Amino acid sequence: MNARNFELDQTAAKEANTGGKRITDHGSYIGTFTAAWYEVNEKGTESVKFIFTSNEGQEAGPLALYTHNGKGDELPSYKMLNAIMACLKLNRITTKEGSVKLYDFETKQEITKQKDTYPEMMGKQIGLVLTSEEYRANNGDLKTRLNIGAPFEAATNRMADEVLNKSDSPVALKKYTDYLTAKDKWVKRAAPEAYSPPYDGHPRHDDPFGDDIP
């Protein structure tokens, strides 16, 4: 077997320092939403989902914010969506049909799907505090996903209320991350299962997100 010659792979070189293509650790990141779109599930629950790409080139997502239930009532993540809009300085977002690349578990590759996208939210610099959450997959395995803990303005580190109040001294972000550290809130632990029934191949519907993270 002949010795292998190599051409510079810039993507691989960058990932050697960043730990791979995907964000796997909780923390504070600055980047852009490379995809933002609206969805509604079979129960009528509405959500806005994001693919976030850090300035180092790592991705996180889909990150889901469930904004309204099937009755149209606001859910807690509705406030989070508005905080993101404030940090992006957007007074309104409107949907436009567009394409989103998503991982397909059946084909084991990325596929392009048509979605109701929010172009105004994409491509603008934003900071995100990402927290971790343990959850049970449909087969009972314990897994971890990232959630949006809070957004902040990338250029100033101001959080939403400070952006709206035009504060000159951003302090809320440090207070929030210090709180997460002091109270050990960076990771939300899954409750221990006293009994886990054998997996019969059918989804148990105990995970509102589903296995949507490769």
Integer Cα distance of 57 and 23 in angstroms: 9
The number of angstroms, rounded, from the C-alpha of 139 to the middle of its chain's C-alpha atoms is: 23
Average pLDDT over the chain reads 84
Helices in the chain by DSSP H: which ranges?
A: 10-18, 77-87, 160-164, 172-182
Integer Cα distance of 70 and 80 in angstroms: 19
pLDDT range class, residue 13, cuts 50, 70, 90: low
Task: Look at residue 211 and give its three-state secondary structure.
Answer: coil
Q: How many CB atoms lie within 10 A of CB 118?
A: 23
* Predicted confidence (pLDDT) at residue 79 exceeds the cutoff of 90: yes
Integer Cα distance of 95 and 170 in angstroms: 32
Integer Cα distance of 51 and 45 in angstroms: 20
More confident: 1 or 167: 167
Structure token digits, residue 106: 């059946």
pLDDT, position 32: 98
* Predicted confidence (pLDDT) at residue 28 exceeds the cutoff of 90: yes
Q: What is the mean pLDDT of residues 99-114?
A: 86
pLDDT range class, residue 1, cuts 50, 70, 90: low
pLDDT, position 37: 96
**Percent of the chain whose predicted confidence (pLDDT) is above 90:** 66
pLDDT in tens, 130-142: 999 998 888 888 8
* Predicted confidence (pLDDT) at residue 206 exceeds the cutoff of 60: no
* Predicted confidence (pLDDT) at residue 207 exceeds the cutoff of 60: no
More confident: 14 or 53: 53
